[in-house]
Amino acid sequence: MAEREASGLQVLLHTLQSSCDRESVLTILRVLADLLSVGTDRRIHYLISKGGSEALLRTLVDTARTDPPDYEVLLPLFRLLAKVGLRDKTIGQKALELEALDVTLILARKSLSHSQRLLHCLWALRVFAARVTTGAMLGINGAMELLLKVIPPYTHRHSRTIRAATEVLAMLLRSKSNSRRAVNQGYVTSLLRLHQDWHSHDAAAACVPIRRGLLLCLRNVTTIRSGREAFLAAGGMELLFSHAQDDDLETDVDKLTAKPGLDRPEEELLQYEAMCPELSCGFEELESQSGGDLNSGCANHQHIPAAASPKPLRVGQDQGSQERAGEDTIQASLLRMVKTAGARSRPATTLHPAGRANGLGTASPGNESPGIQAPLEEDARGLGAVSCPRLSAFLCTAARCGDTAAELEELLKSRPTHVAFHDPHLFMAKAKRTRSVVDFEMLAFPDLWGHRPPPSAQSMLERKCGIQRIKILEDIRRLIQPSDVLNKVVFSLDEPGLLQDTDSNSLRFFSKFESGNLRKAIQVRECEYDLLINADLSSSQHQQWFYFQVSGMRAATQYRFSIVNCEKPNSQFNYGMQPTLYSMKEALLGRPSWVRAGSEVCYYRNHYVRHVAGAGGARGRCYYTLTFSITFPHGEDVCYVAYHYPYTYTALMTHLDLLERSVDRRQVYFRREVLCHTLGGNPCPLVTITAMPASNSPDHLEQFRHRPYQVITARVHPGESNASWVMKGALEFLVSGAPAARLLREAFIFKIIPMLNPDGVVSGNHRCSLSGEDLNRQWLSPTAQRQPTVYHAKGLLLYLSSIGRRPVVFCDFHGHSQKKNVFLYGCSIKETLWQAACTVGTAHLSEDVSYRILPKILAKLAPAFTMSSCSFLVEKSRASTARVVVWREMGVSRSYTMESSYCGCNQGPYQGLQFGTSELEEMGAMFCLGLLILEFKSTSCHHQLLARAAAVLNTEDGALDFHLQRCSTGSSTAELEDEPPCAEEVEYSVGSGADPDASFAELDRQIQACAFDADEGAQAEQEDAEWRRKGIP
């Protein structure tokens, strides 16, 4: 075989050099490329030993001398040369002797305006210049001048060519004579300037290889003494030092201080007047305020129509005295919640007294009386069976499955759920209106039935020593001992025909419901399943969120689940966090709760790697496995497992309806508008909350209309369901009867957009909208067509700003997957410049430090909040986030992102606990309370309000005093590490980077990729796009 190949190869090489026929040459080049694209380096070394390099170089020289040069031959030839040259240590010498060096340099010069041709020449020059003397020769012939012409100041075009030029230049500068020439020509300063420019413009860190190439040039030139002197004289040390401080900080003072112009015609802002009816409302009805609908008097607004509820609601019933009694309970308990924030058990969980009336709720796990057990199993099985194929076709047509609805009705009658601010009937009605691009076949039971937080927060999971090692060895054992490996696909969205075998021992999976996103389940061993989750719609990435149904489990059996296509390089799952679980049987036993569950939880990089073809350009990305084991609380149950406590769009719409019905309309002004419709056709709600004016006297109306605004948004990232729970807490607090809430309503008008990305939430996305975009990177220039919710949220803020009513505070609620606790990101020019060690032109800058007051208040007020993770830096990569845009364009100095951990706290009263929904809801309430205290502390505080506030705060048990005391004494928030060191060494490095040989492999890869792609222009485009995309962190 080897012999035949050898003779064949020699014939090919001979023909290549002697043939004048273009077609033959092209064919031979193609054959050689094929030959070398597979197998090991040995083939290339064999080719070299048979004179392959010389043959290629001679062909190059011959082809280049034709006029005009035939680039159809030259380009594949250059690719082969680069590939062979990487392994031929003497290629530089050979190129010099055969005059290929000059020829290539001339071709490069001629190709200055042809990016692709130039790129190929540069690849060849790079391998030639690997030999220092050849590099020196290139220097003498003016190669450095040429390369500096190719490396422009920052641009997002031709990044591959520019990168190659920096790499060739770095190669050349390994020669001392070239370095001396560079110093003499003043190139050190040019290189520093270029680096400065690329560094400061490359906000998204998309051009790191170019910046690295430039740094490499500087490093090589400073190996000679005159190079070091030139470097120091040009201020290189200071410059690079300041760059290294923080790569991502905005240091352009103009950008930090200048207010950009309006992103749309000014007339367009007028449409938002309709979303602020409170500014024009006449309240004529106030005089006859006996139960009339006060809201109906205002024109200029669209109501989101409330679905008719078939049953009387449990919260805020419409009958007079009963209502007030119930309401008082709510108010009292909310106040208690505020006051006893430090305590771990929160009465918020028992908002509604009826919630405790359920006798079943007293049963404890494993202690069910047999009498209950039997029918219960039936219920669970019945609903479970119904769930999969039949039940919740509710979404499609309720009429068609009337029997199923009746079944559920029956169940609800016998086991009322009593979850505060939840109503299954209303939920069902709302679900019918939720639009999805994905077909749903059912409603997830937890969303329908409701969730009541367990009585106390759960501790973080202690990590077993060596667990990751054990899990990885288990994975490897599949290959070594395949005897017990089943590898049976038991669920797959891609194979709709795949029937779930209800009789087998396999678990059954399902995910065709709102926010569900399981794509495939593979039974690996008897009790072990690999799961694949969907990428975000219109995107090939962002797998992290998961939500699926699992049934058919056996009692007292431990199952291992591994989600094998996660994308983030690390996770709180390695630091005490558990996934969440909801059991239908538990719910029917009166414990309708999402709980943290799972043992042996760990998160590690696996052996799967994305391939070129399927990755849409994102090559070589690696995947991570989240693995956990669950012993389900009951056999034959229907359970749901999720990344974090789900909170769907339908849940929000239900919640808003119930909130609206719960308010005392004589006191609370509560309005819902449609901010806009999403791309998927879902209305995005905008909520306004303030106090009704005391009367319709001009004074009262005046005060009403002039209350300052507070704007809160949430859930732009659909996977961050924690943000929705925080929002839920804030909303419930704001409409409550707690004295602090009353004061807040009297002091402010709250404009709230609780879900900025409904479509993403509905589809089970983690990060993006339907168009595959991260909406929190679109605030600079959103469009009504592509990012309607961001466009109109920004429009509303611009409108408020244009009428002189910009909000006191803007805050966007998020979830954080890497850190613990709750914290704020704000914006400060001074802190940013200081952190970046950039002091140029900052002397005249003045900035008040009011942005720090709210986080300081929250640190003392809210048990989950910590000041130590707060940051007030303006990063270039965040230039298009809500926080930075609202700060810069609307001039809101207190513009924040509030991040809540998915995991829990490592400080304060909740130290060592994972967040439950109550802790998150409490955080929402505390945030609002913080706004009130902020107002007390500000000078503008209304005197009358202050007096009343003092009265409120001095009430009975002095619990609030306790908080205020915390405020004034200042509990010491010790600087805490975000993460304790992981018990095990976890290997997370992605493998590209420091290793200099890696760049060789990288060049090889680029050549290969280019050779595969016939349409090279498109390839360059694609790469550019990829770089831009990669920039999104």
Catalytic residues: 899
Token pair listed for 15: 């023909």
Q: Which residue is associated with the tokens 């009963």?
A: 322
Site mask for Zn ion (CB under 5 A), range 719-738, x = bound? -x------------------
Residue 58 lies near Zn ion (rule: CB under 5 A) = no
Closest CA to 63 of 6, 114, 112, 120: 120
Per-residue x/- mask for Zn ion, residues 746 to 775, rule CB under 5 A?
------------------------------
Q: Considering the complex, what minimum distance in angstroms separates the CB of residue 665 from Zn ion? A: 35
Distance between CA atoms of residues 131 and 127, nearest Å: 8
Query: CA-CA distance, 210 to 147, in Å (whole number)?
Result: 13
d(CA 466, CA 57): 56
Q: Is 452 in the site for Zn ion (CB under 5 A)?
A: no
1017: CB partners within 8 A, 6+ apart: 116
Q: Any residues with CB less than 8 A from the CB of 682 and at least 6 apart, and which?
A: 434, 435, 649, 758, 759, 762
Site mask for Zn ion (CB under 5 A), range 771-810, x = bound: ----------------------------------------
Stretch in the footprint of Zn ion (CB under 5 A) among 332-340, 487-495, 524-532, 812-820 = 812-820
Q: Which is nearer to Zn ion, 589 or 898 (CB)?
A: 898
Pairing of strands 518-525, 528-533: antiparallel
Single-letter amino acid, residue 881:
T
Q: Which helix (H) or strand (E) holds 730?
A: helix 721-735
Q: Does 819 bind Zn ion (CB under 5 A)?
A: no
Location of structure tokens 């009605």: 429
Alpha helices in 879-1015 (DSSP H): 882-890, 917-937, 943-953, 959-965, 996-1012
Residues that contact Zn ion, how many (by CB under 5 A): 3
Contact 775, 684 (CB under 8 A): no
Q: How far is CA 899 from CA 760, 820, 835, in A?
A: 19, 9, 21
Residue 1031 φ then ψ, to 5°:
-65, -20
Residue 813's region, left for phi above 0, alpha for psi from -120 to 50, else beta, is beta
Three-class DSSP category at 584 = helix
Here's the x/- map for Zn ion, 677-716, by CB under 5 A: it reads as ----------------------------------------
Beta carbon of residue 776, minimum distance to Zn ion (angstroms, whole number): 6
CB of 693 to Zn ion, least distance (A): 37
Would you say 181 or 814 has its CB closer to Zn ion?
Answer: 814
CB of 81 to Zn ion, least distance (A): 48
Query: Residues near 680 by Cβ (< 8 Å), separated by ≥ 6?
Result: 435, 436, 437, 758, 759, 762, 763, 770
Residue (662 or 817) nearer to Zn ion, CB: 817
Those residues with Cβ within 8 angstroms of residue 640's Cβ, 6 or more apart along the chain or in another chain: 444, 445, 446, 547, 548, 549, 550, 581, 582, 646
DSSP string covering 608-674, please? Answer: EE--TGGGTT-TT-EEEEEEEEEE-SSTT-EEEEESS----HHHHHHHHHHHHHHS-TTTEEEEEEE
- Name the strands in the sheet holding 822-825, side by side, starting at the edge strand that comes first in the sequence: 668-677, 683-691, 749-753, 709-714, 809-816, 895-901, 822-825
Query: Minimum CB separation from Zn ion for residue 718, in Å?
Result: 9
| b/e burial code for range 104-133 (CB count within 10 A of at least 16 → b) | bbebbeebeeebbbbbbbbbbbbbbbbbbe
Least distance (Å) between residue 714 CB and Zn ion: 10
Determine if 814 is a binding residue for Zn ion (CB under 5 A). Answer: yes
Instruction: Return the range that interacts with Zn ion (CB under 5 A); candidates 46-54, 438-446, 473-481, 814-822.
Output: 814-822
E-only strand ranges, 828-905: 895-901
Q: What sign has the CA pseudo-torsion 231, 233, 235, 241?
A: positive
Shortest distance, position 652 Cβ to Zn ion, whole Å? 17
Q: Which is nearer to Zn ion, 574 or 722 (CB)?
A: 722
Q: Which is nearer to Zn ion, 605 or 883 (CB)?
A: 883
**CA separation, residue 823 to residues 898, 931, 934 (Å):** 6, 15, 16
Interface mask toward Zn ion for 365-404; x: CB under 5 A: ----------------------------------------
Compute the least distance from the CB of residue 977 to Zn ion, in Å: 22
Q: Which residues pair with 986 in a beta bridge?
A: none
Mark the segment that binds Zn ion (CB under 5 A) among 67-75, 90-98, 407-415, 813-821.
813-821
Point out which span in 105-113, 620-628, 718-726, 846-854 binds Zn ion (CB under 5 A).
718-726
Residue 304 contacts residue 677 (beta carbons within 8 Å): no
Burial class (CB in 10 A: 0-12, 13-18, 19+), 465: exposed
Cβ neighbors of 427 (< 8 A, separation 6 or more) are 443, 447, 448, 450, 650, 651, 654
Question: Among 1-9, 100-108, 743-751, 811-819, which window interacts with Zn ion (CB under 5 A)?
Answer: 811-819
Nearer to Zn ion among residue 514 and residue 720 (C-beta): 720
Q: How far is the CB of 674 from Zn ion (least distance, A)?
A: 24
Closest to Zn ion by CB, 441 or 720: 720
Angle at 226 between CA 201 and CA 236, to 5 degrees: 25
Decide: 344 and 457 in contact? Cβ < 8 Å: yes
Would you give the binding string for Zn ion spanning residues 88-107, x where CB under 5 A is met? --------------------
CB atoms within 10 A of CB 1032: 15
Residues forming beta bridges with residue 875, ordered by sequence position: 249
**Around Cβ 314, how many Cβ atoms within 10 Å?**
20
Q: Which is nearer to Zn ion, 720 or 889 (CB)?
A: 720
CB of 114 to Zn ion, least distance (A): 43
> By C-beta, is 529 or 825 nearer to Zn ion?
825
| For Zn ion, the closer CB: 84 or 898 | 898
Q: How far is the CB of 990 from Zn ion (least distance, A)?
A: 22
Q: Which CB, 814 or 876, lies closer to Zn ion?
A: 814
Letters for 504-543 (x = contact with Zn ion by CB under 5 A, - = none) are: ----------------------------------------
Q: Which of 109, 102, 160, 87 minimizes the C-alpha distance to 134? A: 102
| Cβ proximity to Zn ion, 104 vs 722, nearer residue | 722
Minimum distance from CB of 271 to Zn ion (Å)? 28
Is residue 717 near Zn ion by the rule CB under 5 A? yes
- Closest distance to Zn ion from the beta carbon of 814 (Å): 3
Q: Which is nearer to Zn ion, 641 or 775 (CB)?
A: 775
Residues that bind Zn ion (CB under 5 A): 717, 720, 814
